[in-house]
Structure 1
Amino acid sequence: MDLFNSALGKNITFVRPAYFIVRGFIGIPNVDYYYIFLLFVYIVSVAGNTTVMALIYLDHNLKTAKYVAVFNLAFVDLLGSTALVPKVIDIFLFDHYYVPYNECMTFLFFCFTCLSMQALNLVALCYDRLVAIMFPLHYQVRVTHKIMLSIVFFFWLFVITAVLITVGLLTRLSFCDSLVINSYFCDHGQIYKLACNDNTPSLIIGNLLIAIILWVPLVIIMSSYVCIGHTLVKISTAHERVKALKTCTAHLSLVAIYFIPILITFTMRANIHPNARIINLSLTSVFPPMLNPIIYVLQTQEIRASLRKLFKIRKQSRVIGK
């Protein structure tokens, strides 16, 4: 407790700025084209995730426990894209670099909450695949609506609490020098490093959240697939092994899209130019929400069938209308 109470130094007057200056993309050549690309990505993300959510809501065949996590992922992707991309375009394309203090904290809260929930939601989907392949006879008992809703609810509760604590610690910091955030949004790490008093609590919580929300889910997922692989080896025929593995392809694709760019950026950050790092991290934030619904539509038989049925119904209604 003394550590948190010492966040304000004895000899420093508390200074809460009226605004922060977000300047991450400044100085990057031809960056206006990138903003147009972000707008395209956002439109595809909204259309794709809205479609997946609508299909799950309308089709009774998709009202299974597995699709609780799929629906939640689509909702998180939609919310995260809406929280991030329009604001980034507003800041950089229309030169609104001065972001009010409270608005910056809100911006940070929604972005970090959604990015964190994307990683944890992949764990929920991994649980579904793990039980389906390792314990197929117990699947209906171990993967129920109640269990999946409990998992998703717990993840939401944990993430919201953790991010609220993170933002709360930032409000205890004093800013008496630079207010320039060298990132594409109100980034936690960039903000607490600007403080002119003790930022140790924010440093600790930042590193802790990276471990819990990034590395722990990755370790859990990789460990689960080691177990799945061990189970697949025991399956008698190659055809059955391939059939079982195909049920994991959508989830493995989501894991790769989310984690690989982050791991590359973190591993090579000492050798990456700051501008390249900002571009890479921004792509990591906007690409998964765009690709996730496309992957599920292309690789999940139930969703493809539901989509075909929807188009068939619309086509028949048009014919009847004529």
Structure 2
Amino acid sequence: MAANSSVRNLLMLETTGIHFTHIYPAFVFGTLFYLIIVFCNLLVLTTIAVSKKLHKPMFILLFNLPISDIVGATAFFPHLVFSIVTQNRMVSPAACITQAFLIHFYGTANLLVLSAMAYDRYVAICCPLKYNTIMSPQNLIKIIILIWLINFSVMLTLFMLIARFKFCRTNIVDLYCNNPSLMKLVCEDIRGNNYYGLASMIVVMGGPLLVIVYTYAQILRTCVMANHTDGRKKALQTCGTHLVVFLVLQINTTFTLLSHRIENASPLLRRAFGVSVLIFPPFLDPIIYGLKTRELKQSIITFLKRNVVSTK
């Protein structure tokens, strides 16, 4: 009787749809992909930490991005590959809420960090004489604390609101737990959650979007007016990297969240975009910044050479 009761209290995630003959290849691929993500992001983290020439505002802000990416990948991949090999998609409500919190925490952190990096590039390109004053160590620390404080407080409130309800349904409509899927399990009045969810979405997505639009418009204006071709090319290349990373995350996240509020939205598309938010940014961020940012690329190569030689 107790076992049956505990099973009824569990939630059921959407099936992965993987045929039983592909279970172990999918498990191996998922595990390797996760380890590659963790390795690449740790490599960026370690390189920035040990290379004194990278102790600049741009790279100190970038330092926060791999931390966020590792959190998102760890919230998603270990449970996914475990459920693939065990063919068990059941999860406890507490574990589901925890996973959802970490995934939303990761997404919001990435948007806020990328907007702070855009602001840093704006100051560096448009106000170079004031750069050291505006992006001083004290102000940089304040920006980083503000990023994580806003993120934590908004997400904690969001999931405290959902945790107060008892779930009357058990089927999660996505491949992982998230706030919109959890709200669909509640049979009580959730208008307050809806209002707060919309408000938080406007703040954590609309705010960074406004920052990106304004800063990049000013950067583009400054670069077009600049007479130095090399400097203009370097500035546009650096900003282009930030913009690609931001747009991939912003577009996928926006579609995923809005599709939960549109009845006719394709479930397959929603799941595909939702999973892509957790796969592409953590995988591509260290590769894009490692290859496109010359200082970071050189420091990574130096770091790897030094450590490979020391182990021989």
- The two structures have a TM-score, normalised by structure 2, of 0.87
- Aligned to 1:222, which of 201, 210, 213? 213
Does the 8 Å contact 2:99/2:178 carry over to 1? no
What are the residue-to-residue correspondences of 1:68-217 with 2, within 5 Å?
68-176=60-168, 178-217=169-208
Whether the 8 Å CA contact 2:255–2:270 is kept in 1: the answer is: no
Secondary structure at 1:174 match in 2: coil
Are residues 34 and 221 of structure 1, via their aligned partners in 2, closer, same or farther at CA, if it must alter by over 3 Å?
farther
SS at structure 1 position matched to 2:175: coil
**1:41 and 1:286 in contact (8 A); partners too:** no
Q: Are 2:303 and 1:307 aligned?
A: no
Higher relative contact order (CA 8 A, sep 6+): 1
Residues 197-248 of structure 1, C-alpha deviation per residue, up to 9 Å, x if partnerless? 1111111122122211222212220221011111112212434322322232
Q: Distance in 2 between matches of 1:112 and 1:315?
A: 37
Report the Cα distance in structure 1 between the residues aligned to 2:22 and 2:272, rounded to whole angstroms: 10
Equivalent residues of 1:25, 1:31 under 8 A apart:
no
**Aligned partner of residue 113 in structure 1, secondary structure:** helix
CA distance in 2, matches of 1:90, 1:316: 37
CA distance in 2, matches of 1:251, 1:38: 27
- Residue identity in the other structure for 2:196: I
Task: Write the distance in 2 (CA, Å) between the matches of 1:222 and 1:31.
Answer: 44
Distance 1:230 1:258 in 2: 25
Residue equivalent to 1:273 = 266
Aligned residues: 302
* 1:294 and 2:273 matched: no
Residue ranges of structure 2 left out of the alignment (5+ in a row) = 1-7
Match of 2:222 among 231, 241, 263: 231
Check if 1:283 corresponds to 2:270.
Answer: no
Deviation at 1:26, TM superposition (A): 4.4
Check if 1:253 corresponds to 2:244: yes
Give the superposition deviation at 1:96. 2.6
Name whichever of 245-254 and 282-291 sits farther off: 245-254
Structure 1 residue 282: deviation in Å?
Answer: 0.4
Q: Residue 46 of structure 1 aligns with which residue?
A: 38
Once residues 317 and 29 of structure 1 are traced to their aligned partners in structure 2, the CA distance between those partners, rounded to angstroms, is: 45
* 86-95 vs 289-298, greater mean Cα deviation: 86-95
Distance 1:34 1:213 in 2: 34
Q: Which runs of 5+ in 1 are unaligned?
A: 1-16
One-letter code of the match for 1:166? L
- CA distance in structure 2 between the aligned counterparts of 1:259 and 1:140, rounded to whole angstroms: 30
Per-residue deviation at 1:274?
0.7
Distance in 2 separating the partners of 1:34 and 1:146:
47
Contact 1:193 1:199 in 2 (8 A): no
Q: Note if contact 2:14-2:89 (Cα within 8 Å) is conserved in structure 1.
A: yes
- CA gap 1:69/1:240 in 2 versus in 1, 3 angstroms: closer
The structure in which a higher percent of residues are helix is 2
TM-score between both structures, scaled by the size of structure 1: 0.85
Question: Alpha carbons of 1:138 and 1:97: their partners in 2 closer, same or farther (altered >3 Å)?
Answer: same
Q: Judging changes above 3 Å, is the alpha-carbon distance between structure 1 residues 230 and 56 closer, same or farther for their aligned structure 2 residues? A: same
Aligned residue for 2:63, secondary structure, equals helix
Deviations 1:165-195 (A, max 9, x none): 111111222333x210111111211111221
User: 1:58: which partner in 2?
Assistant: 50
Amino acid at match of 1:47: F
The answer to whether the 8 Å contact 1:80/1:115 transfers is: yes
Q: 1:229 to 1:94 in 2, by over 3 A?
A: same
Q: Stretches of 4+ moved more than 4 A in 1? A: 26-37, 263-272
Give the 3 Å change call, closer, same or farther, for CA 229–101 of structure 1 in structure 2. Answer: same
Aligned to 2:3: none
